[in-house]
Chain A
């Protein structure tokens, strides 16, 4: 939180979203806590990265933040106003978000031209003359403005994703949420899009929430990073600090599991593998949710849930032992 008392652009407070999971003929009518008590904030012009594996709730969180899903509990405030306030106020606030999805082809109407798709957010605002804005936006994302007349399938995957970025930015949103927006692109194109996003942020001052399973991609974009595990935030930190010293054992495992294009480093890698799979989010482990896979887990972890605490400089971590000297030694031997 900023200390000078101004309101952050986005505040997410104790956000929860549950899904009821029913199985016919089974008494296990479970509750899936996809997002469980998540709080975060985002300043104007800032990028917040959210990283985690499948089932950690990052995609549900993305949909909650942009208002595609209603929360079970908790609040989402933009410029201090609740996005689920009734009537026009809430609607107006939800319009300040845009989203870029993983599959650019699937998020654009195949029968409409690229230009028509890109202009959608403007038309939703009631703006009729959009041609000029579309042309300017396409140029800005590095596309030939003439591509406005083409159909999505006539564009390559990279071009389609550029077009969906143009669509997200055209109506001047406050926040663009990227949900795995580069995951389906070839590696050489991923870097292009990451750089484009950095350039666009400098130019337009848009805030990003960048959600991905790929730690390296998240780091490339983000000022701050949040690590999620089974619906909860386990670590939140400035990305530079996080790069040099991830504190939570899970963050360290994620960092260690990220393979680097360096055979010498890879050969020297210690075998600090996480045991087992991610447990089902329907009945998550009690105590610390990570204890079933954690190399440091003790009885305390199996019984008592660690709270998200500040270890200094706003570096938050949910681990009983994070930051203590013994912990850092055990888990970081794989990091060169």
Chain B
């Protein structure tokens, strides 16, 4: 087996030039995805997780631009490729699943037609229909022939997301990027779709880069997790280690601020404040204004460094071997954010 990572992102920096000045949405992000591995990229809105995903395929919307870094997909640097070479890799070496199945499919064309486009963009073999039907059957669609002829508006949200997944997987890519694939779905449908993605990627040996804000989805799906905050990765660890002993106060706070359905009418510990305005980032550690552990060291911006085996964190405290034991309560709740 080849041990070269499917995807290697190195010091990626993506910037949006707007009327009010430049916003660095992704700031020096590095990570790798091994073959067959599922890496979770976790963060809240504005953390840069979706822009990171779009950067990989060169699909950053205007006025965004990758200003620095390297993105290697199967060993070739995506940032030096010409447009046509980039296009040939999209969908072929790396598929993508988007958040909203209601808008991700073209309303004017049948589902089969759109899947045909995804195939013929890369090769013109004759067994296209068979491949479409097999792909639809693989994602659990009953009666694939009939489904291929139907239009997106004739399907439920869950069915459409299955089609989007089938399209992402149809050229058997080595990597699938899924950007909040279940956020727009009902919970019982979410469970079905996640289970499907798990089965498919396992059967095909596909690596998965799963972008989500939902820690439950991460726990259910991922082998490894990278947590993003304000454009940076602040912690990276194997999934069990991250949930059991997180070494960044943001991860810690995020994990604790999820209400437990088994304990009704109890206050949930919260992170104070809200994510920073990306146009006016705090100096030093970007999490400092919301951090209950902050001290004078945090005036300087910390790097992402190893804190344990395969475990990195961007925090002065844990990098010096200190533990995140709460001296102050995290349950500061009703303060202004």
CA of A258 to CA of B187, assembled, Å? 7
Q: Which chain B residue lies CB-closest to A144?
A: B336
Inter-chain contact total with CB atoms closer than 8 Å? 170
Q: Which residues of chain A in 176-204 are interfacial with respect to chain B, using CB atoms and an 8 Å cutoff? A: 186-192, 194-196, 198-199
Query: Which chain A positions have C-beta within 8 A of B275?
Result: 186, 188
A residues 152-176 in Cβ contact with B at 8 Å: 156-159
Which of A187, A214, A273 interacts with B44 by CB under 8 Å?
Answer: A187
Q: Find out whether the CB atom of B262 lies under 8 angstroms from the CB atom of A243.
A: yes
Residue of B nearest to A244 (CB): B262
Which candidate, B57-65, B110-118, B265-273, is the interface stretch facing chain A?
B265-273
A24 proximal to B (CB < 8 A): no
A240 sits at the interface (CB 8 A): yes
Q: Enumerate chain A residues within 8 angstroms of B215, measured Cβ to Cβ.
A: 187, 261
* Chain B residue nearest in CB terms to A49: B264
Interface residues of B in 171-190 (CB under 8 A from A): 186-190
Q: Which residues of B in the span 186-224 have a Cβ within 8 Å of any Cβ on A?
A: 186-192, 194-195, 213-220, 222
CA distance A253 to B194 in the complex (A): 15
Q: Mark B242-282, 1 if CB is under 8 A from A, else 0.
A: 01000000000111011111111111111110110000000
Q: Find out whether the CB atom of B255 lies under 8 angstroms from the CB atom of A263.
A: no
Are B216 and A261 in touch, CB under 8 angstroms?
Answer: yes
Give 11 CB contacts A-B under 8 Å. A144-B336, A159-B274, A186-B275, A188-B271, A220-B268, A260-B219, A261-B216, A261-B255, A266-B219, A273-B191, A273-B195
Q: Are B216 and A213 within 8 A (Cβ)?
A: no
Shortest CB-to-CB span from A105 to chain B, Å, is 14
Contact mask for chain A residues 199-219; partner B; CB cutoff 8 A; 1 contact, 0 none: 100000000000001111101
A:215-245 near B, CB below 8 Å: 215-217, 219-223, 225, 239-240, 242-244
- For residue A70, CB closer than 8 A to chain B, the reply is no
**A69 CB to nearest B CB, Å:** 23
A53 touches B274 (CB 8 A): no
Partner of A195, one of B240, B253, B268, B336: B268
Most chain A beta-carbon neighbours within 10 Å: one of B253, B261, B269, B337: B261
CB of B333 within 8 Å of the partner chain: yes
| Contact present for B44 and A257 (CB under 8 Å) | no
Min distance, Cβ A278 to any Cβ of chain B, angstroms: 7
Is B334 an interface position by the 8 A CB rule? Answer: yes
**B45: A residues at CB distance < 8 A:** 186
Given A196-B333, A264-B240, answer yes or no on A217-B187 (Cβ-Cβ < 8 Å). no
Q: Does the CB pair A265–B219 fall under 8 Å?
A: yes
Closest B residue to A293 by CB, please name it. Answer: B188
Task: Take A191-B258, A216-B259 as given contacts and tell me if A277 and B264 are in contact as well, using a CB distance cutoff of 8 Å.
Answer: no
Interface flag for B158 (CB, 8 Å): yes
Given the known A-B contacts A189-B337, A192-B333, A223-B265, are A215 and B260 also in contact in the complex, defined by CB atoms under 8 Å?
Answer: no
Q: Is residue A137 within 8 Å, beta carbon to beta carbon, of the partner chain?
A: no
Task: For B195, give the chain A residue with the smallest CB separation.
Answer: A273
Known: A195-B334, A261-B219. A215 touches B258 (CB 8 A): no
Q: Assess whether A118 is interfacial by the CB under 8 Å rule.
A: no
Minimal beta-carbon separation of A249 from chain B (angstroms): 11
- CB pair B190–A239 under 8 Å, yes or no, is no
The answer, yes or no, to whether B159 is at the interface (CB within 8 Å) is yes
Q: Is A9 among interface residues, defined by CB-CB distance under 8 A? A: no
> Cβ of A54 < 8 Å from any Cβ of B?
yes
Cβ contact of A198, chosen from B191, B214, B265, cutoff 8 A: B265
* A255-B216 in contact (CB<8A): no
Measured CB to CB, the closest approach of chain A to B320, in angstroms, equals 26
Decide: B260 and A188 in contact? CB cutoff 8 A. Answer: no
The reply on B239 being an interface residue by CB < 8 A is yes
Minimum C-beta distance from A279 to chain B (A): 10
Bound CA span A253–B44, Å: 27
Complexed CA–CA distance, A177 and B188 (Å): 25
Shortest beta-carbon distance, B266 to chain A, in Å? 7
| CA gap between A191 and B194 in the complex, in Å | 25
B127 within 8 A of A: no
- The reply on A254 being an interface residue by CB < 8 A is yes
- Shortest distance from the beta carbon of B276 to any chain A beta carbon, whole Å: 10
In contact, B156 and A191 (Cβ under 8 angstroms): no
Tell me if B143 is interfacial: C-beta within 8 Å of chain A: no
